[in-house]
Structure 1
Amino acid sequence: MRELLEYLARQLVDHPDEVAVEQFDEEDGTVILELSVGEDDYGRVIGKGGRTANALRTVVKAAAVKEQRRVLVDIVD
C-alpha cells in the first residue's frame, strides 16, 4: 500500500524526488500513511475540491481490502 501511494503521487507531481510516504501501524491494525510532497506540488496532489486526494485514498483503500487491513491516508506539510 505504501509503495502504491508513493508510485501514484510520483506520477502526479512535478518533483517526484520530493515525494515521501511514512507508514505508522496502530495497535488496532490500522495503517496510517502520511504523504508529503514538494511545496509547489500540494495543489496537484490535493486537486480541485480535493478530488485527486479522494481518488488516491480510494485506490489505496481498495488495495488494503485485499490485505484485509484498514488504511488512512493523510497529506501533511
Structure 2
Amino acid sequence: MKELIETVVKALVDHPEEVSVTETSDERTMTYVLSVHKEDMGKVIGKQGRVIKSIRTVVYAAGTGLDKRIHLEINE
C-alpha cells in the first residue's frame, strides 16, 4: 500500500525525491502519513480537495481485502 501511495503522488509533484510515506498500525486501523515538499502541497490536495480525495479512493479500494480500516493523512 505504501508503494502505491508513493507511486501515485510522485507522478503528481515537482519534487518526487521529497515524497515519503510512513505507516503505523494498530488492531483495527492502518494509518499512512504522506509528506511532500511544501511547494507540492497544493498539487497533492487539488482544488477543493479533489486530488487527495481521488488518491484516498484508490487507496481504500486497494485495501478492501484487508481486515483493517485504512486512513491516509497529509503532513505539512
TM-score (norm 2): 0.94
Q: Provide the aligned C-alpha RMSD in A.
A: 0.9
Show the counterpart of 2:52.
53
- Aligned structure 1 segments of 4 or more residues deviating by more than 6 angstroms: none
Unpaired runs of at least 5, structure 2: none
Q: How many percent of aligned residue pairs carry the same amino acid?
A: 43
State the distance in 2 between where 1:2 and 1:11 align: 15
d(CA) in 2 for partners of 1:7, 1:51: 18
Deviates most, 64-73 or 13-22: 64-73
Q: Deviations over 1:3-53 (max 9, x none)?
A: 10011010000010000000000222x100000100100000000000001
- Counterpart position of 1:36: 35
Which residue is equivalent to 2:6? 6
TM-score, normalized by length of structure 1? 0.93
How far the C-alpha of 1:66 sits from its partner, in A, is 2.8
- In 1, Cα distance between equivalents of 2:12 and 2:3: 14
Unaligned runs of 5+ in 1: none
| Count of residue correspondences | 76
Relative to its length, the structure with more helix (as a share) is 1
